[in-house]
Chain A
Amino acid sequence: MSDVAVLGAGMHPWGKWGLSFVEYGRAAARAALADAALGWPDVDSVVGADTVRCGYPGYVAGATFAQALGWQGARVTSVYAACASGAQAVSTARAQILAGLADVVLVVGADAAPKGFFAPAGGERPDDPDWLRFRVLGATNPAYFALYARRRMALHGDTLDDFARVKVKNAAAGALNPLARYRTAVSAEDVAASPVVADPLRLLDICATSDGGAALVLSSMEFARRHGHRNPVRIRAVSTVTPTYPKALLDLPDIATDSTAAVSPPPHTFRAAIARAAYEEAGVGPGDLSLAEVYDLSTALELEWYEDIGLCGAGEGAKLVRDGVTALGGRVPVNTSGGLGSFGEAVPAQAVAQVCELTWQLRGTAGSRQVRGARVGIAANQGLFGHGSAVVAVR
């Protein structure tokens, strides 16, 4: 069995607190350790997800958190995988545990994000695709989200009302989550009254940037048993696959897709491949899911994810939100945490926060947003430069 146990989960509330990412990460780490009833000296290894600055790795995370918590000699790793950084930190921790290199690993992701559009690094960088898309096209991240949204409207008949339904649903869940940044209900009228950022998407369709921190304490199943955790939440799969050539779907920060002139495109899109790899590794399928946390960088993108993680067929995503299938109380609630729409994105912390939510739901301690009888959850995301991840957790 390739399970690892989740002994502790902790977060610093998302917001704009004006503090350093170190403070958020340290607070989240201490919360996760307290949740696990373990001390920092019990940790064999710490894996930090680097902050993200202008799309690229920013501050070194692993050693920074180790120093902030007080040097105690633990093995240290720092990882960068854009929006999937947090999941790659989980993946690294899991690999160390399964390889017998560590019994207890602390995973931490935290960031203090600048306000407004994510911007590329300064200076003249004509070899940097992220710099070029801003210089040549002015193509911001919301521009790409808007291209996907418009394409859905043309292909599948999705409407602005469908996109607003996603926001209304996620805001309702976020209102129940004390760790979320935005905790007020949002109506479809509120969405429609917010300014258009990139046609057809409005401000309330697009996730903000936030400060936040999230941490997990992972251990071997044997360590968990020895310490009295008879039935811990388990991480059963972590997928961090890269795309397969030719990547035929326009992806940020690309100016063009790969060409399908020489090679036919793979049968599944990159996002779908990320989820499929996790299902295969975990030996479960979409039909087994109790809940899912997906990367709703925009409302319309959440509908794409429904299809990518196999909740429905291509083009059927809007029907799920219309029918309430993915709302709290529905058959497969999605983004019970409130999602990025309620949190805002703190890039290296976000994928860790998704697993925190799965953990609390699978333990049955998610309070008023609890999914009854939750047994299997998936968390999925995708980011710049061919990064993406999916984590399957079970209990």
Chain B
Amino acid sequence: MTRTRRPVVAGWFTDDVPEGDFRLLGTRCTACGAVFFPREDSWCRNPGCPGGGELVEAPLSRRGRVWSYTDGRYRPPAPYVSDPDAPWEPYTLIAVELAAEGMVVLGQAAPGVRTSDLTVGMEVEVVPGVLNEDEEHTWTTWHWRPVPRPPAPRPAVHARVAQDPA
């Protein structure tokens, strides 16, 4: 049985691209520069916008910093899809601050990321993920994942503080 891959919401993220090119897709008003995610394609919601612009697709920053995080220890109600016969596996939710856009975007963490792996302020990146599968479809989504730390540089006795990524 082959399932078709489909985004859980059309147009919210790049589809079928290599992982490194994956981005959330918002929109930006060409008149005032306001950014919207989820994408706003109808009108600019900035009340001070001079008007006359258009909303163009704007890929959001790939990396941001953890604003906060939690998990779901109990099965959420529909329309969240889960197998009622399988034991509930908590998922982790991360709210991520994107500096360039000046916004906080929620998302589930990549599978295997626990709240104990996270701290507020930690750098994370957006990666493609799977929300659920049914008979016909693999429903795709975005996940946040901690940015792997580069291998520690050779210890320099007087410069340990500098190893902490800014």
Q: Is the CB of B69 within 8 A of A147?
A: yes
Q: Is the CB of B141 within 8 A of A136?
A: yes
Q: Kindly list chain A residues whose C-beta atoms are within 8 Å of the C-beta of B36.
A: 259
Q: Is the CB of A258 within 8 A of B73?
A: no
In the bound complex, CA of A137 to CA of B77 (Å) = 11
A39 an interface residue at 8 Å Cβ cutoff?
Answer: no
Q: Is the CB of B119 within 8 A of A147?
A: no
Please choose the segment from B101-109, B145-153, B154-162 that sits at the chain A interface, where 4 or more of its residues have CB less than 8 A away: B101-109
Q: Is the CB of A137 within 8 A of B68?
A: no
Q: Is the CB of B73 within 8 A of A196?
A: yes
In the bound complex, CA of A140 to CA of B72 (Å) = 8
Q: Is the CB of B119 within 8 A of A132?
A: no
Q: Kindly list chain B residues whose C-beta atoms are within 8 Å of the C-beta of A198.
A: 70-73
Name, among A131, A195, A199, A246, the residue most crowded by chain B CB atoms within 10 Å (CB to CB).
A199
B124 an interface residue at 8 Å Cβ cutoff?
Answer: no
Q: Kindly list chain B residues whose C-beta atoms are within 8 Å of the C-beta of A124.
A: 79
Please choose the segment from A11-19, A29-37, A114-122, A216-224 that sits at the chain B interface, where 4 or more of its residues have CB less than 8 A away: A114-122
Q: Is the CB of B120 within 8 A of A261?
A: no
In the bound complex, CA of A119 to CA of B37 (Å) = 23
Q: Kindly list chain A residues whose C-beta atoms are within 8 Å of the C-beta of B120.
A: 150-151, 154-155
Contact flags A131-154 to B (C-beta < 8 A → 1, else 0)? 111111111100100111011001
Q: Is the CB of A138 within 8 A of B103?
A: no
A250 an interface residue at 8 Å Cβ cutoff?
Answer: yes
Q: Is the CB of A151 within 8 A of B67?
A: yes
Q: Is the CB of A147 within 8 A of B29?
A: no
Name, among B79, B91, B103, the residue most crowded by chain A CB atoms within 10 Å (CB to CB).
B79
In the bound complex, CA of A384 to CA of B44 (Å) = 22
A178 an interface residue at 8 Å Cβ cutoff?
Answer: no
In the bound complex, CA of A246 to CA of B78 (Å) = 30
**Known A137-B108, A255-B38; contact A122-B78, beta-carbon cutoff 8 A:** yes
Q: How far is the CB of B78 from chain A (nearest CB, A)?
A: 7
In the bound complex, CA of A178 to CA of B140 (Å) = 51
Q: How far is the CB of A214 from chain B (nearest CB, A)?
A: 27
Residues facing B in A254-307 (CB within 8 A) are 254-263
Q: Is the CB of A135 within 8 A of B104?
A: no
Q: Is the CB of A134 within 8 A of B33?
A: no
Q: Kindly list chain B residues whose C-beta atoms are within 8 Å of the C-beta of A255.
A: 37-38, 105-106
Which B residue sits closest to A265, measured CB to CB?
A: B102
Q: Is the CB of A139 within 8 A of B106?
A: yes
Q: Kindly list chain B residues whose C-beta atoms are within 8 Å of the C-beta of A257.
A: 103-105
Contact flags B1-35 to A (C-beta < 8 A → 1, else 0)? 00000001100000000000000000001001111
A197 an interface residue at 8 Å Cβ cutoff?
Answer: yes
Q: Is the CB of B121 within 8 A of A154?
A: yes
Q: Is the CB of B102 within 8 A of A260?
A: yes
In the bound complex, CA of A197 to CA of B115 (Å) = 13
Q: Is the CB of A132 within 8 A of B9?
A: yes
B111 an interface residue at 8 Å Cβ cutoff?
Answer: no
Q: Is the interface of A mostly helix, strand, loop or mixed?
A: loop
B76 an interface residue at 8 Å Cβ cutoff?
Answer: yes
Contact of B106 among A135, A137, A245, A248 (CB under 8 A): A137
In the bound complex, CA of A132 to CA of B7 (Å) = 13
Q: How far is the CB of B110 from chain A (nearest CB, A)?
A: 14
B86 an interface residue at 8 Å Cβ cutoff?
Answer: no
Name, among A126, A151, A262, the residue most crowded by chain B CB atoms within 10 Å (CB to CB).
A262
Contact flags B62-94 to A (C-beta < 8 A → 1, else 0)? 000001111111101111111000000001010
In the bound complex, CA of A199 to CA of B73 (Å) = 8
Q: How far is the CB of B33 from chain A (nearest CB, A)?
A: 4
**Known A146-B70, A199-B71, A261-B101; contact A137-B35, beta-carbon cutoff 8 A:** no
B45 an interface residue at 8 Å Cβ cutoff?
Answer: yes
Q: Is the CB of A263 within 8 A of B48?
A: yes
Q: Is the CB of B35 within 8 A of A261?
A: yes
Q: How far is the CB of A184 from chain B (nearest CB, A)?
A: 24
B47 an interface residue at 8 Å Cβ cutoff?
Answer: yes
Contact of A250 among B9, B48, B72, B106 (CB under 8 A): B106
Q: Kindly list chain B residues whose C-beta atoms are within 8 Å of the C-beta of A135.
A: 8, 79-81
Which B residue sits closest to A260, measured CB to CB?
A: B102
Which B residue sits closest to A140, measured CB to CB?
A: B76
Q: Kindly list chain B residues whose C-beta atoms are within 8 Å of the C-beta of A147.
A: 67-70, 93, 95
Which B residue sits closest to A145, measured CB to CB?
A: B70
Q: Is the CB of A134 within 8 A of B72?
A: no
Q: A198-B71, A256-B37 are known contacts; what are 12 more A-B pairs with Cβ within 8 Å?
A: A134-B79, A139-B76, A139-B93, A151-B67, A155-B120, A199-B73, A201-B70, A250-B95, A256-B103, A256-B104, A259-B37, A262-B35
List the 5 closest A-B pairs by CB distance, nearest first: A260-B102, A154-B120, A119-B77, A146-B70, A138-B76
Residues of A participating in the B interface, judged by any CB pair closer than 8 Å: 116-117, 119-120, 122, 124, 126, 129, 131-140, 143, 146-148, 150-151, 154-155, 195-201, 245-246, 248, 250, 254-263
- Some 9 contacts from A to B, beta carbons below 8 A apart, are A131-B79, A140-B74, A143-B93, A148-B68, A199-B70, A246-B102, A250-B67, A257-B103, A259-B101
